[in-house]
């Protein structure tokens, strides 16, 4: 993918985006997929202000694109799936103009908006796909690529961005902060503390606010809680829960959450001991076969009315194998069919981001038989596909506390 160097990225001017590189160019359904014109304009998005707490004009972009063969090959789609072209429309207030290269008959891709769901009782309507702050976003030397991914995500309608103080030791928050400096009001912004003490967590909170270039967070979470001993410390006299409570009382953060992918029983205890607003949990098609998060934790979170964010969808690629799950479409479809609010995935490239948004935009609830088929594909390797769980296979070269979401598509 390349961008016309004469076009401006911001300020409402048209941007020419080339999707033909590496795909062989050509036409799909009569539409020339080599060049698409994206026209953006600034508009007031007052309907979104109550959920993100901003008052500045929000820049919306309507982005038209067709799924290229490059994306389809990466996830093993069949030729028949190319008949569903995607048009992702961002924004609800105001108007935007999109100009397409069409054939002589004026054929145009159908418009498909990414659906949204309530983020529990927060009042935020979150898009079905959300951006995680790992992968490219946490690596040193990837500033330009990271900022492109973040901006494109917001342009495509993503309105929830997740990061953590631990991701890249501040790199992820730094890159996201560069975009938040001008686009903070467009997203529900979440980060995490991995420190289990009050004072240590408050120190991390100050660092997070500085790096993210904001004066408040929409969601602050306890990061990757794995064991009861950690909960004992968190809920103890000088534990991190006091930092979360104080930050909310002082209106530095709006909502509080807990995250984990190691042991669902530990998170069940956490939800029963504190009135969190959200939970970030591991979910993928292998979940029913080993230490399931769907068995007790997911129903409990729904009974409590929490916002439920799903992570670890492709499990660093360990989900994908011959004779098992082979496509991101199957992986995301199974998770999105669960009673959750949104999925977060860290993306390596803009192309991965666009593909994931396309899958979310075209999501249709599958039948019970289809869900059983997808889950059944993982029955012979659940500990590999859920390597991050207690007593599972583990992932070579990684620490068990290294990350809190999937980083590879």
Q: Structure pTM? A: 0.73
Separation CA 311–CA 35 (nearest Å): 34
Please calculate the CA angle 163-165-166 and round it to the nearest 5 degrees.
Answer: 95
pLDDT at position 393 is 79
pLDDT at position 20 is 33
Among 373, 388, 302, 387, which Cα is nearest to 338's? 302
pLDDT at position 43 is 33
Other Cβ atoms closer than 10 A to 148: 19
* Tens-digit pLDDT profile for residues 220-279: 999 999 999 999 999 999 999 999 999 999 999 999 999 999 999 999 999 999 999 999
Contacts of 118 (CB under 8 A, 6+ apart): 124, 125, 126, 307, 341
Please state which CATH number belongs to domain 116-385: 3.20.20.100
List strands edge to edge, sheet with 98-100: 2-3, 15-18, 35-38, 98-100
Separation CA 83–CA 98 (nearest Å): 21
Separation CA 337–CA 339 (nearest Å): 7
CA 313, 153, 159, 68 dihedral sign is negative
Q: Name the token pair of 181.
A: 């400096």
pLDDT at position 47 is 35
pLDDT at position 396 is 57
Above 70 in pLDDT, residue 326?
yes
Separation CA 152–CA 9 (nearest Å): 10
Above 60 in pLDDT, residue 28?
no
- Work out the mean pLDDT of the chain and round it to a whole number: 77
* Tens-digit pLDDT profile for residues 75-102: 333 333 322 223 223 332 222 223 222 3
Contact 283, 335 (CB under 8 A): yes
The full set of domain ranges for the chain reads: 2-100, 116-385
First to last CA, the chain: 18
Backbone conformation region of residue 316, classed left if phi is above 0, alpha if psi is from -120 to 50, else beta: left
Other Cβ atoms closer than 10 A to 399: 8
Separation CA 321–CA 328 (nearest Å): 12
CA 351 to chain centroid, in Å, comes to 15
Separation CA 314–CA 312 (nearest Å): 6
Give the helix, strand, coil percentages of the chain, each rounded to 5. 35, 20, 45
| Strand, helix or coil for residue 59 | strand
Strand partners, 130: 344
Among 234, 236, 306, which Cα is nearest to 270's? 234
pLDDT at position 107 is 35
Contacts of 169 (CB under 8 A, 6+ apart): none
For 362, list phi and psi in degrees, rounded to 5.
Answer: -100, 10
Separation CA 325–CA 315 (nearest Å): 12
């Amino acid at each position: 993918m390349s961008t016309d160097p004469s076009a401006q990225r911001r300020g409402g001017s048209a941007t020419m985006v080339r999707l033909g590189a590496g795909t062989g160019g050509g036409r799909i359904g009569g539409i020339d997929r080599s060049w698409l014109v994206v026209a953006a304009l600034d508009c007031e998005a007052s309907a979104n202000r109550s959920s993100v707490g901003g008052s500045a004009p929000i820049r919306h972009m309507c982005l038209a694109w067709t799924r290229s063969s490059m994306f389809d090959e990466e996830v093993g789609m069949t030729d028949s799936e190319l008949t569903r072209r995607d048009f992702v429309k961002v924004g609800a207030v105001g108007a935007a103009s999109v100009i397409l290269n069409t054939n002589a008959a004026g054929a145009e891709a159908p418009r498909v908006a990414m659906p949204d769901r309530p983020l529990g009782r927060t009042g935020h309507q979150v898009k079905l796909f959300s951006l995680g702050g790992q992968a490219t976003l946490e690596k040193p030397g990837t500033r330009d690529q990271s900022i492109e991914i973040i901006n494109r995500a917001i342009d495509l309608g993503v309105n929830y961005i997740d990061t953590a103080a631990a991701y890249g030791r501040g790199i992820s928050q730094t890159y996201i902060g560069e975009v938040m400096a001008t686009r903070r009001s467009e997203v529900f912004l979440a980060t995490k503390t991995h420190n289990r003490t009050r004072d240590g967590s408050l120190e991390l909170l100050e660092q997070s606010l500085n790096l993210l270039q904001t004066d408040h967070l929409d969601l602050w979470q306890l990061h990757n809680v794995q064991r009861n001993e950690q909960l004992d410390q968190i809920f103890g006299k000088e534990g991190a829960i006091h930092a979360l409570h104080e930050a909310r009382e002082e209106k530095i953060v709006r909502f509080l959450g807990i995250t984990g992918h190691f042991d669902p029983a530990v998170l069940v205890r956490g939800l029963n001991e504190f009135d969190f607003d959200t939970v970030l949990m591991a979910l993928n098609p292998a979940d029913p076969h080993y230490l399931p998060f769907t068995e007790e934790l997911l129903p409990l979170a729904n009974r409590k009315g929490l916002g439920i964010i799903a992570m670890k969808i492709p499990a660093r690629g360990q989900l994908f194998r011959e004779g098992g799950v082979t496509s991101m479409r199957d992986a995301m479809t199974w998770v999105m069919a669960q009673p959750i609010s949104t999925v977060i995935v860290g993306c390596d490239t803009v192309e991965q981001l666009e593909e994931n948004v396309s899958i979310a935009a075209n999501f249709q609830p599958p039948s019970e038989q289809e869900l059983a088929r997808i889950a059944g594909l993982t029955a012979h390797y659940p500990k590999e596909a859920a390597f991050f769980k207690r007593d599972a296979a583990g992932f070579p070269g990684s620490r068990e506390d290294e990350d809190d979401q999937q980083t590879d598509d």
